[in-house]
Chains A and B, each alone.
Chain A
Amino acid sequence: MILDEVEYETYSTPAFDKKQKWSQPDDKIILSIIPGTIVEILVKEGDKVKAGDAMLVIEAMKMNNKINFLKGGIIDKILVKPGDIVSKNQELIVLK
């Protein structure tokens, strides 16, 4: 383990081993912010969208949550359909 340029001899821990390396998220790939079921998709491939536009409705924690785009662009691919169960951070939509 290297801290402040000094290499220490030491053992790792189970929690440390499970850690994933952080990387800059790709903001063209829109990930689910919450696990749930897709109820309705409000856009289609090729649509031009701007920040604030409605994207889809996801049922999670007993609520229908309308999800909006945080950033504009042209929709390249829609990776989910109504009825799909998605987990947190699952890829939903890819922008061009």
Chain B
Amino acid sequence: MSINKKIEALNQKRKEVMLGGGEKAIEKQKESGKLTARERIELLVDKGSFNEYDLFVQHSAREFGMADKVLNGDGVVIGTGTIDGRPICVFAQDFTVVGGSLGYMHAMKIVKIQDLALKMRVPCIGINDSGGARIQEGVDALAGYGEIFYRNTQSSGIIPQLSVILGPCAGGAVYSPALTDYVFVVDNISKMFITGPEVIKTVLGEEITQEDLGGARVHSEITGNAHFFANDEKECFSQIRKLLSFIPHNNKDKNTERKVEKPVANIDINNVVPVDPTKPYDVRNVIKAITDNSDFVEVMEKFAQNMVIGYGRIGGKTVGFVANQPLYLAGVLDVDSSDKAARFIRYCDAFDIPIVTLVDLPGYLPGVDQEHAGVIRHGAKVLYAYSEASVPKLTVILRKAYGGGYIAMSSRHLKADFVYAWPTAEIAVMGPQGAANIIFRKEIAEAADPNEMRKQKVEEYKERFANPYVAASKGYVDEIIVPDETREKLIQALKLSETKAKVKTDKKHGVPPF
């Protein structure tokens, strides 16, 4: 055979295999509003940068008449590409090939790209669209999942791992995304659950749709399994590209600094926070008033909205923001918001991203459901995460910082490097009402007009303690600053923190209250 013929044969083979499950299956995929695996990768990476590996891999199943079946690429596409010129590894399950079901060789392809990502210290992005384990392959399919989970765990804290759910992701398959750092979902397309509606109906008689059980909204708003919600696949891929432009691509990557840009949002930072501590405001306006270009990538925007987390740049450097959000549930710490913040703090610490904490909270949320849901151990996660984090920790107390909430939100006592307070700050053991009721219980009870006396005592307490000066007099707050000085103060503190000493210990690892 001449070389030309051989080249022609190769091209022909490539073409055939790239059709995946065939034109009919592709048509079906499109009808359900989904793109194909390769189209998705094209949208994700820089144009023309994708290299596909293991194109000719075939499945290894021999039972149940599988030996004669041809499954192109064994239902998954793997390879490398670049995003804004920086290399990444990617795999995308191909639903057109036997429903993207996971067999042993399919899993080994994913494992290969995971190993490559870890070895080369580049982000690993997984696009999930699969019916689950390929039953015909039996225990080999389970082995495949196990190998993937193991690598997810080994890579954790070294390279960012992103999971994109673009179709069903059920049973054991859900645990790989759950082990990764960021889960992206798309409205009406993503479905995640351990057991689907059919099983739930047969076993339990409960009827629920796939969407209500584990759709994109459910995971973004209720369960907290998803970090980014998009209305369509295109928006989803631009979210991924944006996130990767902010975060380091491995735990030693210093290439996140960009040119310094001024905030562009037209926000009068001195007047964002109402002086009245009962009035709400959107803490994201404070963030936008201090970040470069007023850019902010919010993580888990719809889950536990009483806590805002995400990335922005200050003076060109990426920081992670953790901020109480008085706009929702008065910004309280509860089970969900504690969990949300704690994992984010650990992520920032693992990847050497300085943490900026904006504090305005009345404390922990009271209630039977909260106590019984374990707000003690969930709340403890925040304390643990902040105490453990050795990255630069910068705290700005905007307004209320009461009780346990004050301690938890990156206080001096958990070794924040710099603590600033605005003149609106109220740092006290508890809110004036509660404190006055306890301290002046006797005076109030014995007064001719207890209500009047209570009011008076609350005012007295407010006057004396609901301010930043008591904490500042003890050195718990380093500086009381005018809000419009915040950005400059943070820029200087970040500069100073660049050479922060890393403390080495000989412990293997701590035991956080997971």
A residues sitting closer than 8 Å to B (CB atoms) are 1, 3-16, 18-20, 22, 35-37, 85-87
Contact = CB atoms under 8 A, between A and B. Distances in A.
Contacts of B365: 3
Contact of B366 (A3, A15, A36, A37): A3
A14 B336 CA distance: 12
Question: Among the interface residues A11, A22, A86, which one has the most CB atoms of the partner chain B within 10 A?
Answer: A11
A9 B431 contact: no
Given A6-B362, A8-B326, A87-B205, A14 B278 contact: no
B204 A4 contact: no
B203 A8 contact: no
Given A6-B431, A9-B280, A37-B203, 4 more contacts: A10-B326, A13-B221, A15-B303, A20-B369
Interface in B302-324: 302-306
Nearest to B364: A3
A6 B278 contact: yes
B354 interface: no
B433 interface: yes
B159 interface: no
A22 B369 contact: yes
B468 interface: no
Chain B interface mostly: loop
Interface stretch (B327-335, B475-483, B496-504): B327-335
B368 interface: yes
A35 B204 contact: yes
Contacts of A13: 221, 304-306, 328-329
A22 B221 contact: no
B457 to A, nearest CB: 13
B130 to A, nearest CB: 25
Given A1-B330, A3-B362, A85-B203, A10 B222 contact: no
26 contacts: A1-B330, A4-B363, A4-B430, A4-B434, A5-B434, A5-B437, A6-B278, A6-B433, A9-B279, A10-B326, A10-B331, A11-B305, A11-B327, A13-B221, A13-B304, A13-B328, A14-B221, A14-B222, A20-B369, A22-B367, A22-B369, A35-B206, A85-B203, A85-B205, A87-B204, A87-B205
Given A3-B363, A15-B222, A87 B206 contact: yes
Contacts of B331: 10
A8 B280 contact: yes
A20 B204 CA distance: 21
B433 A15 contact: no
A10 B204 contact: no
A23 to B, nearest CB: 9
Interface of B: 203-206, 221-222, 277-280, 302-306, 326-332, 336, 362-363, 365-369, 372, 430-431, 433-434, 437
Contacts of A12: 328-329
Contact of B222 (A3, A18, A35): A18
A34 B273 CA distance: 48
Nearest to A11: B328
B203 A4 contact: no
A10 B328 contact: yes
A43 to B, nearest CB: 23
A84 to B, nearest CB: 9
A18 B303 CA distance: 13
B363 A8 contact: no
A19 to B, nearest CB: 6
Contacts of B372: 22
Contacts of B433: 4-6
Contacts of A9: 278-280
B305 A7 contact: no
Give the interface centre of B278, B302, B331, B431 by most chain A CB atoms within 10 Å.
B278
Contact of A8 (B221, B362, B368): B362
B304 A10 contact: no
A57 B304 CA distance: 40
A22 B54 CA distance: 55
A66 B453 CA distance: 60
Nearest to B201: A85
B327 A10 contact: yes
B366 to A, nearest CB: 7
Contacts of B203: 35-37, 85
A87 B303 CA distance: 28
Contacts of B328: 10-13
Contacts of A22: 367-369, 372
A5 B363 CA distance: 13
A11 B280 CA distance: 9
B278 A15 contact: no
Contacts of B326: 8, 10
B344 to A, nearest CB: 18
Nearest to B218: A14
Contact of B369 (A6, A14, A19, A36): A19
